[in-house]
Amino acid sequence: MSLRAAVLGHPIGHSKSPALHLAAYARLGVEIGYTAIDVTEEALPAFMDSVRAEPDWRGLSVTMPLKKAMVAEVDEVRGVGRVLGVINTVAFEGDGESVRRIGYNTDVTGIVNALRNAGAADNPSGVILGGGGTAAAAVAALQELGAVSVDVYVRNTARAAEARAAAAGLGMDISVHTLDGAVVAMAAAGVVISTLPPRAADGMAAELEALGRRTDGVLLDVAYDPWPSKIAAAWHSGGGTVVPGLEMLLYQAVEQVRYFTRLPDAASAEVIDVMCDAVGAPRRVS
């Protein structure tokens, strides 16, 4: 029986997840097909009902706007995803009638490893742009790096519920602000994580350049297309380190491959290297 996995979201045509996963499965010699499926939040319950009737599924990667809605569609949520109330991974455990759908959040690991690979310091002062599901994972990632508080900047402070809930669940201090003061705060931060959609930070890039201050920290822009983004280019011009969202995507996918294949060596250096090759990312330095 051919096994199946997929990435779900809306829109989803731009996703690089199929390239990452298929490269890993080929290197591991595992026969798992992996596709991108466009699913809206409204259509998610019906889609998951159809998945429950098919015995060949091993896993689902979940992207926007489904990360919060998927929590209601799984049998159990484990790890930090339970605290955040946001998941990006569904692993199918067991076989036949005993299959259970387990939710995880591998975005946190993806962010942490991407930042550490770029040399981010421990105990950083952290700024997050955006307040949704990925921002919730960013809050948890900053805590894992040793931060004790975080400043979140959003267009509308009423729309930072997921970031606030994450901080509350993790026992982390959070301050939520409008985007008006974000650029000055960014320039002084040790780590900045932008969870804004592509091009949404373009205006802030011009403000950052006009500010004329050095950017000594690390910026992770989770929007990897187009790349470099204007905010990433402005940050680099100020002397800061830039981490493309592709790095986060890579590391969260590594964890998903481990869950979907059920192989303990699925996250080996050789597997990560072929995943890097598949999306044009530099191989890791051993």
Residues designated catalytic: 67
- Token readout for 113 is 């490893």
Q: Are strands 100-104 and 89-93 parallel, antiparallel or unpaired?
A: antiparallel
Alpha carbons 33 and 46: distance in angstroms, whole number? 22
| Consecutive H or E run containing 127 | strand 126-129
How far is the C-alpha of 38 from the C-alpha of 11, rounded, in Å? 6
Q: How many CA atoms lie within 13 A of 170 on its CB side?
A: 29
Q: Phi, psi (5° rounding) for residue 172?
A: -115, 140
179 neighbors 155 (Cβ within 8 angstroms): yes
Asked if residue 232 lies in contact with residue 202, where contact means CB atoms within 8 angstroms, the answer is: no
